[in-house]
Amino acid sequence: MRNSLLVGIGAAVAVAALPELAGTALASNPDVVYLIELDDGTNGGEYLCQSDWWYCVKCSVIYHSDNDAPGGVCPEGGMHQNDTSYTLYCIPHDGGSLSQTEAPVNGVQAGWRWCSRCQGLFWGSAASVSVCPAGGHHVVTSGTYVYDLPYGKPYISEMINGVQDDITGQTDWLYCGQCRGLFYGHNNTISGVCPAGGPHSQASNSSNYYMPPYVNPVIV
Protein backbone atom coordinates (compact mmCIF):
# COMPACT_ATOMS: atom_id res chain seq x y z
CA MET A 1 0.00 0.00 0.00
CA ARG A 2 3.02 2.31 0.38
CA ASN A 3 2.36 5.20 -2.03
CA SER A 4 0.84 2.73 -4.50
CA LEU A 5 -2.75 3.68 -5.23
CA LEU A 6 -4.68 1.41 -7.53
CA VAL A 7 -5.72 2.74 -10.94
CA GLY A 8 -9.40 2.39 -11.88
CA ILE A 9 -11.80 3.74 -14.50
CA GLY A 10 -14.91 5.85 -14.71
CA ALA A 11 -14.82 9.25 -12.92
CA ALA A 12 -12.98 12.52 -13.39
CA VAL A 13 -12.27 14.95 -10.59
CA ALA A 14 -11.35 18.61 -10.93
CA VAL A 15 -9.45 20.03 -7.95
CA ALA A 16 -9.20 23.65 -6.81
CA ALA A 17 -8.00 25.24 -3.58
CA LEU A 18 -10.51 26.53 -1.02
CA PRO A 19 -10.16 27.80 2.55
CA GLU A 20 -10.68 25.25 5.29
CA LEU A 21 -14.23 25.00 6.66
CA ALA A 22 -15.22 25.72 10.24
CA GLY A 23 -16.50 22.83 12.31
CA THR A 24 -15.40 19.63 13.99
CA ALA A 25 -12.93 17.03 12.70
CA LEU A 26 -11.21 19.51 10.43
CA ALA A 27 -8.07 18.91 8.43
CA SER A 28 -4.94 20.99 8.93
CA ASN A 29 -4.43 21.04 5.15
CA PRO A 30 -6.75 23.20 3.00
CA ASP A 31 -9.99 21.72 1.71
CA VAL A 32 -10.15 21.23 -2.05
CA VAL A 33 -13.05 20.87 -4.48
CA TYR A 34 -13.65 17.59 -6.29
CA LEU A 35 -15.96 17.56 -9.30
CA ILE A 36 -16.91 13.91 -9.83
CA GLU A 37 -18.01 12.66 -13.25
CA LEU A 38 -19.60 9.21 -13.28
CA ASP A 39 -19.14 6.32 -15.72
CA ASP A 40 -22.19 7.27 -17.77
CA GLY A 41 -20.96 10.84 -18.20
CA THR A 42 -23.41 12.36 -15.75
CA ASN A 43 -22.24 14.90 -13.21
CA GLY A 44 -22.01 13.31 -9.77
CA GLY A 45 -21.76 16.68 -8.07
CA GLU A 46 -19.21 19.08 -6.67
CA TYR A 47 -17.70 18.23 -3.30
CA LEU A 48 -15.41 19.78 -0.77
CA CYS A 49 -12.75 17.25 0.19
CA GLN A 50 -11.17 16.93 3.65
CA SER A 51 -7.56 15.85 4.04
CA ASP A 52 -5.67 14.35 7.02
CA TRP A 53 -7.23 10.90 6.78
CA TRP A 54 -4.81 8.01 7.25
CA TYR A 55 -4.67 4.23 6.97
CA CYS A 56 -4.08 2.56 10.34
CA VAL A 57 -1.28 0.03 9.90
CA LYS A 58 -2.54 -1.91 12.96
CA CYS A 59 -6.26 -2.44 12.29
CA SER A 60 -6.69 -1.43 8.59
CA VAL A 61 -9.32 1.29 9.09
CA ILE A 62 -9.14 4.89 7.93
CA TYR A 63 -8.91 7.48 10.69
CA HIS A 64 -8.58 11.25 11.02
CA SER A 65 -5.56 13.01 12.50
CA ASP A 66 -5.13 16.79 12.31
CA ASN A 67 -1.40 16.61 13.04
CA ASP A 68 -0.68 13.46 10.98
CA ALA A 69 0.17 11.57 14.18
CA PRO A 70 -1.18 8.45 15.91
CA GLY A 71 -4.61 9.12 17.39
CA GLY A 72 -8.04 7.84 18.30
CA VAL A 73 -8.59 4.35 19.68
CA CYS A 74 -7.42 1.22 17.84
CA PRO A 75 -9.06 -2.20 18.45
CA GLU A 76 -5.58 -3.75 18.50
CA GLY A 77 -4.72 -1.58 21.50
CA GLY A 78 -3.57 1.97 22.05
CA MET A 79 -4.02 4.58 19.33
CA HIS A 80 -4.40 4.20 15.58
CA GLN A 81 -0.96 4.22 13.98
CA ASN A 82 -0.21 5.73 10.58
CA ASP A 83 2.89 5.76 8.41
CA THR A 84 3.45 9.16 6.82
CA SER A 85 5.23 7.52 3.88
CA TYR A 86 1.84 6.00 2.99
CA THR A 87 -0.89 7.80 1.09
CA LEU A 88 -2.65 10.76 2.69
CA TYR A 89 -6.37 10.58 1.83
CA CYS A 90 -8.91 13.30 1.09
CA ILE A 91 -12.61 12.45 1.61
CA PRO A 92 -15.44 14.32 -0.19
CA HIS A 93 -18.18 15.67 2.05
CA ASP A 94 -21.44 17.66 2.25
CA GLY A 95 -22.13 18.16 -1.41
CA GLY A 96 -22.99 16.71 -4.75
CA SER A 97 -26.21 16.12 -6.62
CA LEU A 98 -26.63 12.38 -5.98
CA SER A 99 -28.08 10.69 -2.92
CA GLN A 100 -27.52 7.04 -2.04
CA THR A 101 -30.78 5.92 -3.66
CA GLU A 102 -30.24 7.95 -6.84
CA ALA A 103 -26.66 6.87 -7.49
CA PRO A 104 -25.97 4.49 -10.40
CA VAL A 105 -23.84 1.33 -10.11
CA ASN A 106 -20.70 3.43 -10.11
CA GLY A 107 -21.61 6.52 -8.12
CA VAL A 108 -21.37 8.42 -4.87
CA GLN A 109 -22.82 7.29 -1.54
CA ALA A 110 -23.65 9.92 1.06
CA GLY A 111 -24.12 9.19 4.78
CA TRP A 112 -20.66 8.27 6.10
CA ARG A 113 -19.70 9.88 9.42
CA TRP A 114 -16.68 10.57 11.63
CA CYS A 115 -16.70 9.01 15.11
CA SER A 116 -15.39 11.47 17.71
CA ARG A 117 -14.50 8.61 20.07
CA CYS A 118 -12.26 6.46 17.86
CA GLN A 119 -11.59 8.95 15.00
CA GLY A 120 -12.68 6.38 12.40
CA LEU A 121 -15.18 6.55 9.52
CA PHE A 122 -18.44 4.58 9.79
CA TRP A 123 -21.87 4.28 8.14
CA GLY A 124 -24.01 6.84 9.97
CA SER A 125 -27.36 5.08 9.60
CA ALA A 126 -25.94 2.05 11.42
CA ALA A 127 -24.66 3.94 14.48
CA SER A 128 -27.09 2.18 16.86
CA VAL A 129 -25.80 -1.27 15.87
CA SER A 130 -22.15 -0.32 15.32
CA VAL A 131 -19.19 -1.35 17.47
CA CYS A 132 -16.61 1.28 18.45
CA PRO A 133 -13.12 0.30 19.70
CA ALA A 134 -13.55 2.95 22.43
CA GLY A 135 -16.51 0.93 23.75
CA GLY A 136 -20.20 0.98 22.88
CA HIS A 137 -21.31 2.39 19.55
CA HIS A 138 -19.81 4.86 17.11
CA VAL A 139 -21.11 8.38 17.70
CA VAL A 140 -22.64 10.80 15.19
CA THR A 141 -21.70 14.29 16.41
CA SER A 142 -24.00 17.15 15.48
CA GLY A 143 -22.36 19.78 13.28
CA THR A 144 -19.72 17.46 11.78
CA TYR A 145 -19.38 16.58 8.10
CA VAL A 146 -21.45 14.02 6.22
CA TYR A 147 -18.98 12.21 3.96
CA ASP A 148 -19.70 11.13 0.39
CA LEU A 149 -17.75 8.10 -0.82
CA PRO A 150 -17.33 7.38 -4.52
CA TYR A 151 -17.60 3.70 -5.37
CA GLY A 152 -16.89 1.46 -8.33
CA LYS A 153 -13.51 1.90 -10.04
CA PRO A 154 -13.00 5.60 -10.63
CA TYR A 155 -9.96 7.55 -11.73
CA ILE A 156 -9.29 11.19 -10.95
CA SER A 157 -7.57 14.12 -12.60
CA GLU A 158 -6.49 17.39 -11.06
CA MET A 159 -7.06 20.81 -12.56
CA ILE A 160 -4.88 23.46 -10.92
CA ASN A 161 -3.98 26.78 -12.52
CA GLY A 162 -5.46 25.58 -15.82
CA VAL A 163 -3.24 22.48 -16.01
CA GLN A 164 -4.87 19.03 -15.92
CA ASP A 165 -2.99 15.91 -14.83
CA ASP A 166 -4.26 12.40 -14.16
CA ILE A 167 -3.66 11.04 -10.67
CA THR A 168 -4.51 7.61 -9.31
CA GLY A 169 -7.13 6.60 -6.74
CA GLN A 170 -7.45 3.49 -4.61
CA THR A 171 -10.14 0.83 -4.58
CA ASP A 172 -10.67 -2.10 -2.14
CA TRP A 173 -12.02 0.03 0.71
CA LEU A 174 -14.92 -1.97 2.17
CA TYR A 175 -17.80 -1.70 4.62
CA CYS A 176 -17.43 -4.02 7.63
CA GLY A 177 -20.69 -5.77 8.51
CA GLN A 178 -19.54 -6.28 12.09
CA CYS A 179 -18.39 -2.85 13.33
CA ARG A 180 -20.02 -0.78 10.51
CA GLY A 181 -16.74 0.99 9.77
CA LEU A 182 -14.68 1.39 6.60
CA PHE A 183 -11.55 -0.75 6.22
CA TYR A 184 -8.94 -1.48 3.55
CA GLY A 185 -9.35 -5.00 2.18
CA HIS A 186 -5.92 -5.52 0.56
CA ASN A 187 -7.75 -7.28 -2.33
CA ASN A 188 -9.51 -9.50 0.23
CA THR A 189 -12.93 -9.42 1.90
CA ILE A 190 -11.40 -9.97 5.36
CA SER A 191 -8.61 -7.82 6.81
CA GLY A 192 -7.25 -6.04 9.85
CA VAL A 193 -8.61 -6.13 13.41
CA CYS A 194 -12.31 -5.46 14.13
CA PRO A 195 -13.58 -4.13 17.48
CA ALA A 196 -16.42 -6.67 17.23
CA GLY A 197 -13.83 -9.47 17.31
CA GLY A 198 -11.61 -11.13 14.72
CA PRO A 199 -10.77 -9.40 11.43
CA HIS A 200 -12.96 -6.90 9.62
CA SER A 201 -15.34 -8.69 7.24
CA GLN A 202 -16.94 -7.22 4.13
CA ALA A 203 -20.72 -6.87 4.47
CA SER A 204 -22.86 -8.48 1.76
CA ASN A 205 -24.21 -5.04 0.78
CA SER A 206 -20.82 -3.32 0.70
CA SER A 207 -19.70 -1.48 -2.40
CA ASN A 208 -16.08 -1.34 -3.46
CA TYR A 209 -15.26 2.18 -2.34
CA TYR A 210 -12.74 4.49 -3.94
CA MET A 211 -10.48 6.57 -1.71
CA PRO A 212 -9.04 9.75 -3.28
CA PRO A 213 -5.54 10.88 -2.33
CA TYR A 214 -4.88 14.41 -1.13
CA VAL A 215 -3.53 16.68 -3.84
CA ASN A 216 -1.66 19.64 -2.40
CA PRO A 217 -3.15 22.56 -4.32
CA VAL A 218 -0.91 25.26 -5.76
CA ILE A 219 -2.48 28.54 -4.67
CA VAL A 220 -1.72 31.61 -6.81
* 6 domain residue, yes or no: no
Per residue in 22-48, pLDDT (tens digit) is 233 333 344 555 555 544 555 555 567
For residue 48, being part of any structural domain is answered with: yes
pTM reported for the whole predicted model: 0.77
**Structural domain includes residue 219:** no
pLDDT above 90 as % of the chain: 48
For range 10-17, the mean pLDDT: 34
Q: Which domain holds residue 159?
A: 12-211
Per-residue pLDDT tens digits for 200-216: 999 999 999 988 888 76
User: For the chain, what is the mean pLDDT?
Assistant: 75
| 220 within domain boundaries | no
Lowest-confidence pick of 45-59, 90-104, 145-159, 190-204: 90-104
Render pLDDT for 43-91 as a digit per residue (tens, 0 to 9). Answer: 555 567 788 999 999 999 999 998 889 999 999 999 999 998 899 998 8
CA 186, 192, 193: angle at the middle one, nearest 5? 165
Task: Indicate whether 171 belongs to any domain.
Answer: yes
What is the per-residue pLDDT for 220? 40
Band (150; pLDDT cuts 50, 70, 90): confident
Lowest-confidence region among 10-24, 99-113, 146-160: 10-24
Tell me which amino acid residue 24 is: T
**Domain-embedded: residue 216:** no
Phi and psi, residue 93, nearest 5°: -155, 155
197 domain-assigned: yes
**Which segment, 16-20, 50-54, 187-191, is predicted with the most confidence on average?**
187-191
Structurally, the chain folds into a number of domains equal to 1
In a domain, 4, yes or no: no
Among 88-102, 142-156, 163-177, whose mean pLDDT is lowest? 88-102
